[in-house]
């Protein structure tokens, strides 16, 4: 055979993946069409202690958006919505949010995102509001949210 494993394919053992518990199967599912006004966003944001915020600093980007739409539109397709955004000389700023489906806890994820222009990178501050209070599950959901954001903005990442 070409790879030098021998001819007997049946003798090759294929490891069976470890069983996955139900908690690991839970994925982040965000509601579509959620609207959160500035006052509600600010109230939710200030009600979550800064110590509970998850900060993801400076995710390197290979390129960046030319306008706020270059971030808002791809995220909207993944049910991460914009409450406000703006462009400064050195960065784009976004105040974003998503809400879990009720079956998964119905909590909000409030996100402050900054895209620096030189060099391009993305920094996130995420505060969970309501929903699942289990710290392990919250961390898993926030990790999934970060991956969702990176996936939605995939064209900007190496």
In tens digits, the chain (158 residues) has pLDDT values of 333 334 444 444 444 443 433 444 457 899 999 999 999 999 999 999 999 999 999 999 999 999 999 999 999 999 999 999 999 999 999 999 999 999 888 999 999 999 999 999 999 999 999 998 888 989 999 999 999 999 999 999 98
Eight-class DSSP state of 71: H
Q: In what order do the strands lie in the sheet with 108-117?
A: 54-60, 120-129, 108-117, 91-99, 81-87
89-133 pLDDT, tens digit per residue, is 999 999 999 999 998 889 999 999 999 999 999 999 999 999 988
Q: Which residue has the tokens 């110590």?
A: 51
Largest CA distance in the chain: 69
Three-state secondary structure readout of 111-133: EEEEEEECCEEEEEEEEEECCCC
pLDDT of residue 26: 55
pLDDT of residue 104: 87
Q: Which residue has the tokens 């620096």?
A: 116
Residues 100, 113: contact at Cβ < 8 Å? Answer: no
């Amino acid at each position: 055979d070409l790879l030098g494993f021998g001819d007997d394919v049946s003798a090759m053992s294929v490891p069976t993946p470890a069983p996955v518990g139900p908690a690991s199967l839970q994925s982040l599912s965000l509601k579509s069409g959620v609207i959160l006004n500035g006052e509600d966003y600010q109230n939710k944001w200030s009600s979550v202690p800064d110590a509970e915020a998850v900060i993801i600093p400076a995710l390197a980007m290979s390129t960046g958006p030319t306008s706020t739409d270059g971030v808002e539109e791809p995220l909207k397709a993944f049910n991460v919505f914009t409450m406000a955004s703006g462009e400064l000389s050195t960065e784009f700023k976004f105040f974003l949010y998503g809400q879990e489906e009720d079956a998964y806890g119905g909590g909000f994820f409030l996100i402050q995102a900054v895209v620096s222009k030189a060099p391009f990178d993305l920094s996130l501050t995420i505060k969970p509001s309501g929903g699942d209070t289990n710290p392990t599950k919250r961390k898993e959901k926030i990790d999934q949210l970060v991956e969702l954001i990176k996936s939605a903005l995939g064209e900007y990442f190496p």
